[in-house]
Structure 1
Amino acid sequence: MLKATQDEIEEIREYFEWQAPDLEVTFMQKVYSEAVLNTRHNVWDIHTDKDRWWVITGGTNLYSQEQFPNMDLALTFHIGLMLRIPRTEEQQEDDIRILPFGPVFEKMEEASTAVTQAHRLSDYQAVGVRCREALLELIGVAQDAAMWKTEAPPQRANFRAWIEIICNDLLPSDTNKERRGVIKGALESAWTFSNWLTHSKSATWIDADMASSLMQHAIGMATSLIVRELRGVPEECPKCRSPHLEPQQGENTAAPGVLWERPHCADCGWTGRAVPIIDFEDGRPIISREGEDSDEHSIMTVPLRTILKPGDPQIKPLRQTETGPPEAIVYFAYGSNMSTARLRERMPSCKALGTASLPGHSLRFHKRSVDGSGKCNAFASGDDDSVIGVLFGFDPTERAALDKAEGVGNGYEHAMVTVINDKGRRRKVLTYIATPGYIDDSLKPYGWYKDLVLAGAMEHSLPAEYIDVHILSVEATEDPDKTRDKKQRAILGNSRR
């Protein structure tokens, strides 16, 4: 199994759940990675409650392991498919934007990929080497792309000398002192830290990730500045002083086969000096096509879920393999279970993973409880409302205990819903929804229950406006059972310690 960042895991999970909403992921791991023509393809083995899938990045797609029992077969098919899919006009324009900095971005990608696969000291040091290579590639490309003001050019690989020259040339005079300092500082920090990482005997994965982040940040700022200079783009329109300048591209009849670009003011129509940015003859595609388009050899533009035709023999499925422990269940709590102390009594392994919202639902205290009061429900309102709650991960062996505590079959039913977490990612998670026969809008919650909901909301810093409108404004009633009231408020006291 290859090392993967949490962001990678969430991105792949989000993609799979979007493409296969009827399946529940039970286990996932990154098993292989390969770069082809500067494109990185990571292969993920996804286990669900029904079957298994490959998810392959670099034009992310998913493939059933029933149809592709061999990983190499799936990867080969995927790479071939991605090479044949026509590049969109937008993608081609993006390629043009970074010319001639393509090699720099390739090395940045190599460093970033190396971070995800690093798991020992030598790997961390290798990340430092790749970051240094990307930074050196930057100044090398910059030297070839423009003539810089210097009496005696330093050696080509003298990084510090060249960033001094480039920054002073791009941002001259005292008026640019702070801007110049930011660019120099970012490049210097990235260079110094990458060199340290290359030789460090105590480096960690965090150091490797930091080196990659510093390098990407520094190169991003420097490249943007250099490209603007190469394109001759002023900070504002010299005619009307508008900052709304955009690139305008076209061909010159006097020089056919060459793409030119010039800045264009969206407000007054001013255009700047045109510069050549790509020679079409040098930009031939890797794969060329001949013949007319035909549905008989169409290229798939949707994820592949099945390729068997009626009458085809079934492909032998993969042998069952050891998958390791099942993934923790992720649960969306929106009522009293938002209180970690209360939930931990039911599921000792629970761990808060952040907040999330459930669109198209509203929080109601109208689920009839066995004690006669109203409990929370994420009611499917279908409008612009959202229920905000807390995501918890817990050991799957505790699922039965939670079902029992929630009263599954007696007012609540478990449901898999898609929420949006605090990072903006979609996630399919477990929650509990009131069954229609147990909904009574005349009910009120007991005071201790409302306070538990409020305590959980405050504990996890839910938005103040949401708390005011959906929790504090709800009218509660006193629990006639004083023993129960005291017991529940004891939990409330524990949550505040």
Structure 2
Amino acid sequence: MAEMTQLEERQIRDYVDPRRHQNPRTKSPSYVGRRRVAHENYDLYDVWMSSGKRWWVITNVTNLYPQDDFKGLNQAFTYHLGLNAVLREQFAVQPDEGQVETVGKPWRRYAGAVEALATAEEAEDFQAVGIRCRESLLALVRDNIDASWVRVQGEKPQVDNAKAWFAIFANSLSANSKPRAYFKSLGERTWDLTVWLQHYVDASEIDAEIVLGATREVLRTFALLQVDYSQPMEQRCPKCDSYQVVKESSEVIEREGAFGTFLHDECASCGWRSEQSFDEWPRERLQRLIDYKTGAWTPPRKSMGELEVRATDEAPS
């Protein structure tokens, strides 16, 4: 059985018991192993509490399960896979935060296409899914033709020339030839699919599903290219070259009359740590912490996509 790194152990402790620094209750987390299902990795942990209670903790998306209810790890893991499948289906048309920012309007039109398929029965209903997907792709074009990052050589294409705009977006967003060529080809082929479905008098549910999947992939890939374009290059560990570098912070402390935390980078793969730096908190941030500690702070309402799902409402004890 592989040993847990200090960072990994700390992250599991903080997940199971977020108030650990006030009242330590997590006694002994241990790494059980990793399983891979349908191209997804899941890390599994056995966590003992000081009260004697035990939990299974399973990642991706991280969740915990009481061992009083789930006697064996296989039982907990099977439930975890089923829960994830239900949630993915339930929120299939809900974009994440990054997608909301970059493809919000096109995604709403895509969600309309998904809803249209749910009630479709006849060929013309499936054709209507193609129309809605086509509108989603056009919305993507309209929302971005005047963006600051767009580089057009020569005369601008017409707004409804989506295939030409996909090529422009690909060239503007990516300096790497493979992703650039992939998005250009994906956009062009998906546009052709939506037009085909719109006019296909023998359209079926499977045809509509194919077009929906292709449209979703265009929106998703565009959002990823936007993130890659706008964010700095991801940090890598100077010791082992791993991408698993995370920012860690201390508890809030006072230093020369100022309050803040010590920050450092830490590699989850090899344990490398950077030098610490002091992050001084502004008065407003410190006041929010005080309000939180005293119970005066009210958390903002979260969207369904942000809610943390647990197998039980019972808090660890």
TM-score by length of 2: 0.44
Question: Quick check: which one's helix share is greater?
Answer: 2
Question: Quick check: which one's strand share is greater?
Answer: 1
